[in-house]
Structure 1
């Protein structure tokens, strides 16, 4: 009987965490897409990094390359999935906003620092100081959205 209760308890925590994580990921992706259309000169281009990464993986696996449209769609879906799962770590506890802030800042700094060493190029997230700041800010906003949604869902359960 205890195993069933533990499983149900874990599910009760997982679903709100997933919802919060994907809310943060959708907010992040919406910000990136809006900024790249409104400020093409210095907006972060995480879509370009994602496309480069996907092309690299497909080359390593000796798989055919998708068309530009298919590549963009796959990258957007991959971004939402991976960022949604990342922000799920915010969880459903009472410090979810703080965790969201920390996870967001960490992801943003990683988005600025890691692409170069990973062989994806630096310009998409590191082109100008404004690009760097927006990269960190957008990921932070995603983390805060995840934290806020998590808090709201936690309050609703009470």
Structure 2
């Protein structure tokens, strides 16, 4: 596995995912997944456990977006640069999407941001899948160009 192509692919997938989430939350405010809300809740929870000061909303939002791109980029970089990167991207995306629907409640972050309606659940899984596919497709293209 080549590190730089894998990271480039992973961050492309994470960027695609974040853009989808941000555009949709403005276009479909009633049922779009709000992973930004889950991220901010997670950040605030971690800061609370560390007895650290809580940031204002704007600062928390920026930190959450940076954290989302970083963590999703590293996650999607697991597609690697091998022959089956597209298939791995699909599987990683579906797994992340299902996790995005199932895990927030048990983690104490609330369920509504990703689990509010059937459409919200479907969009959550679909958008993470798109992110994984973007990562896999770019990894595949980079592999062929070498």
TM-score (norm 2): 0.99
Aligned twin of 2:114: 125
Q: CA deviation at 1:15?
A: 0.3
For residues 107 and 15 of structure 1, the distance between their equivalents in structure 2, rounded to whole angstroms, comes to 22
For the pair 1:140 / 2:99, whether they are aligned, the reply is: no
How many residue pairs match? The answer is 146
Task: Output the CA distance in 1 between the equivalents of 2:86 and 2:137.
Answer: 6
The structure 1 residue matched to 2:104, chosen from 98, 103, 115, is 115
For the pair shown, the structure with the greater C-alpha radius of gyration is 1
RMSD over equivalenced CA pairs, Å: 0.6
Secondary structure of the residue aligned to 1:124 is helix
The answer for the alignment partner of 2:41 in structure 1 is 52
**SS of residue in 2 equivalent to 1:150:** helix
| 1:97 and 2:91 aligned | no
Runs of 4+, deviation exceeding 4 Å? none
Counterpart for residue 6 of structure 1: none
Gaps of 5+ in 2: none
Give 1:73 deviation, angstroms: 0.1
TM-score by length of structure 1 reads: 0.92
Partner of 2:16: 27
Among residues 68, 71, 84, which one is paired with 2:73 in the alignment? 84
**1:84-125: per-residue Cα shift (whole Å, max 9, x none)?**
000000000000000000000000000000000000000000
**Does residue 61 in structure 1 map to residue 50 in structure 2?**
yes
